[in-house]
Amino acid sequence: MGQYIIEGGKSLCGSVRIQGAKNSALPILAATVAVGTPCVIHNCPDLSDIDATLKILRSLGCEVHRSVGTVSVDSSRISLNSIDDVLMREMRSSIIFLGALVSATGEAVMTAPGGCDIGLRPIDLHLAAMRKLGIRVAERHGKIRCSCKRVRGNKITLSFPSVGATENIILASVRASGVTTIINAAREPEIVDLAMFLNSCGARISGAGESVIVIEGVERLHSVQYAIMPDRIVAGTYMSAAAVTGSSVIIEDVIPSHLAPVFSCFEQTGCRIEVSGNKLRITAPKKLCAPDTIRTMPYPGFPTDCQAIMTAVASVADGVTLINENIFENRFRHVSELNRMGADIRVYDKVAVVRGVDRLQGACVDATDLRAGAALVIAGLCAEGVTTVNSIHYIDRGYDSLAENLTSLGVSIRRKD
Ligand code: EPZ
């Protein structure tokens, strides 16, 4: 399970380089199954969710090699098109193998995915889209069996711009006969990264990053080397570390346009952000002002994955912040743990009312999911005394070398496994 033990009150200085994006690397690694020839993925972060994905690739018969930051996958000799329930339950993004396997083998057998307990996380949009593509979908005894001779392109309108459903449709239709159009597609940068990876393999995908994406099916795809884009959520996390400690920190390897909604929130707290190419410097005031109301929305709105860390920032800002979580129905689990540290946060259904306090107090708290765990670490950086964060295996899902990076910025943090 593991713990982080953090001594609060240190100010940060120096610079940190941002890892490759988890939510890009996961669908791109799954996409190597649809490519069907050897691919090399660079800037791949070292995370437990990546480990889980590589386990799935190996279980399917792919040849997988990993060195620091680079993963090579040869899916030319896939021997299986079903994924074991234990592997499916390890993370949400295992569902992305559905579209990739159908593309590669015409069949996929799996169970419902796992993932952080931040809501019900149904897959109805995924399965309805598969059926629209002419794929037979049978759900019996907890198993999902998908099959078809050849995927047929079609027009699919999503009732919600689901990231995972958009990715699954792209992966299922990339080698289909005919053209697929996704209406109300997710616009997240991770969708663009997936489309750029597939286009570099010879796919014909246009409109990624917009609400309408067109995928013209191609017969086959070819090998490629590809570098994953930087992780915008991890960048936001290190920005919040600087904000709560009144520090000035340089953050390297970012794509500023991906962080626009997060930038404006930090600026409202009084932080100054200076951008230069793919790096930024964030300089925080000694006392933060409470940001305006935060509403989580699909991209380019404020990202739900930054909600928990911004709740930690607001908890020590001067004033009151309303935080409206619109994406997941159970994503305030960090609130009770922050209140253990002296925060003053009340939750009314989808809205958290955060009254900033002078200072948090160090305490023993539990991470309940990936971003909630990150929020507790951020709170520990500015709390008085020592904070112990338990169950940090959740944090390992999305943060590569978190303790090492924070230590290099001047934080007193140590890991106890
Ligand atoms: C992706 O999850 C990310 N995960 C999440 O990041 C992120 O929070 C989320 O997108 C939103 O940006 C990965 O990319 C691996 P959705 P995903 O489908 O694809 C509902 C993190 O911390 N929905 O856009 O699961 C769903 O219940 C993780 O890194 C349906 O109702 O998100 C949710 O309320 C957490 N039916 C909303 O849509 C469906 O078939 C958004 O889900 C699919 C989704």
pLDDT tens digits, 8-50 = 999 999 999 999 999 999 999 999 999 999 999 999 999 999 9
Do 249 and 395 fall into the same domain?
yes
Per-residue pLDDT of 268-288, as tens digits, reads 999 999 999 999 999 999 999
| Choice among 116, 146, 265, 271 that is catalytic | 116
- In this structure, which residue's CA is closest to atom 27 in ligand 1? 121
Q: Give the integer Cα–Cα distance in Å for 379 and 317.
A: 12
- In this structure, which residue's CA is closest to atom 7 in ligand 1? 305
Q: With cut-offs at 50, 70 and 90, classify the pLDDT of residue 80.
A: confident
Q: Of ligand 1's atoms, which has the minimum distance to the CA of residue 397? A: 29
**CB-based burial, 17-26: b 16+ in 10 Å, e otherwise:** ebbbbbbbbb
Asked whether residue 356 is assigned to any structural domain, the reply reads: yes
Domain count of the fold of the chain: 2
Asked whether residue 37 is assigned to any structural domain, the reply reads: yes
Nearest to 19 by CA among 198, 258, 251: 251
CATH number assigned to the domain comprising residue 44: 3.65.10.10
What pLDDT is attached to residue 142?
Answer: 86
Whole-number Å distance, alpha carbon 305 to ligand 1 midpoint, is 10
Structural domain of residue 53, as residue ranges? 22-218
Do 311 and 329 fall into the same domain?
yes
Q: Give the integer Cα–Cα distance in Å for 326 and 263.
A: 20
Asked whether residue 223 is assigned to any structural domain, the reply reads: no
- Cβ neighbors of 249 (< 8 A, separation 6 or more) are 12, 13, 14, 15, 16, 238, 239, 241, 242, 281, 282, 409
Q: Give the integer Cα–Cα distance in Å for 315 and 338.
A: 8
Whole-number Å distance, alpha carbon 146 to ligand 1 midpoint, is 21
Q: Which one-letter DSSP state was computed for residue 93? A: G
- In this structure, which residue's CA is closest to atom 5 in ligand 1? 305
Residue where a domain terminates, one of 168, 197, 218? 218
- In this structure, which residue's CA is closest to atom 34 in ligand 1? 328
The region that residue 12 occupies, defined by phi over 0 for left and psi between -120 and 50 for alpha, beta otherwise, is beta
What pLDDT is attached to residue 141?
Answer: 87
Q: Of ligand 1's atoms, which has the minimum distance to the CA of residue 121? A: 27
Nearest to 118 by CA among 347, 388, 361, 329: 329
Do 282 and 396 fall into the same domain?
yes
What pLDDT is attached to residue 112?
Answer: 80
- In this structure, which residue's CA is closest to atom 18 in ligand 1? 162
Whole-number Å distance, alpha carbon 366 to ligand 1 midpoint, is 23
Our mutation pick for probing the ligand 1 site, out of 121, 126, 192, 368, counting the most ligand atoms within 8 A of Cβ, is: 121
Whole-number Å distance, alpha carbon 161 to ligand 1 midpoint, is 9
93 pLDDT higher than 90: no
Do 78 and 127 fall into the same domain?
yes
Do 9 and 28 fall into the same domain?
no
CB 194 within 8 A of CB 28: yes
What pLDDT is attached to residue 117?
Answer: 80
91 pLDDT higher than 90: no
Per-residue pLDDT of 372-386, as tens digits, reads 999 999 999 999 999
Q: Give backbone dihedrals phi and psi of 84, rounded to 5 degrees, phi first.
A: -60, 140
What pLDDT is attached to residue 92?
Answer: 80
What average pLDDT does the chain have?
96
Do 174 and 236 fall into the same domain?
no
Whole-number Å distance, alpha carbon 91 to ligand 1 midpoint, is 12
What pLDDT is attached to residue 94?
Answer: 87
What pLDDT is attached to residue 116?
Answer: 66
The stretch 292-304 carries a mean pLDDT of 98
Whole-number Å distance, alpha carbon 7 to ligand 1 midpoint, is 34
Q: Of ligand 1's atoms, which has the minimum distance to the CA of residue 161? A: 24
- Is residue 116 annotated as a catalytic residue, yes or no? yes
Do 135 and 157 fall into the same domain?
yes
Share of the chain above pLDDT 70, in %: 100
Per-residue pLDDT of 343-366, as tens digits, reads 999 999 999 999 999 999 999 999
What pLDDT is attached to residue 333?
Answer: 96
Do 106 and 82 fall into the same domain?
yes
115 pLDDT higher than 70: no
Do 263 and 142 fall into the same domain?
no
Residue where a domain terminates, one of 197, 218, 239? 218
Our mutation pick for probing the ligand 1 site, out of 232, 302, 327, 333, counting the most ligand atoms within 8 A of Cβ, is: 327
First CA to last CA across the chain, in angstroms?
A: 7
Asked whether residue 225 is assigned to any structural domain, the reply reads: no
Per-residue pLDDT of 310-335, as tens digits, reads 999 999 999 999 999 999 999 999 99
Do 213 and 304 fall into the same domain?
no
Per-residue pLDDT of 201-257, as tens digits, reads 999 999 999 999 999 999 999 999 999 999 999 999 999 999 999 999 999 999 999
Asked whether residue 51 is assigned to any structural domain, the reply reads: yes
Q: Of ligand 1's atoms, which has the minimum distance to the CA of residue 298? A: 12
Residue where a domain terminates, one of 158, 187, 218? 218
Whole-number Å distance, alpha carbon 24 to ligand 1 midpoint, is 13
Do 279 and 401 fall into the same domain?
yes
Do 60 and 138 fall into the same domain?
yes
Ligand 1 environment, Cβ below 6 A: 22-23, 26, 92-93, 116, 119-126, 160, 162-165, 186, 188, 304-305, 327-328, 370-371, 398
- In this structure, which residue's CA is closest to atom 9 in ligand 1? 163
Asked whether residue 116 is assigned to any structural domain, the reply reads: yes
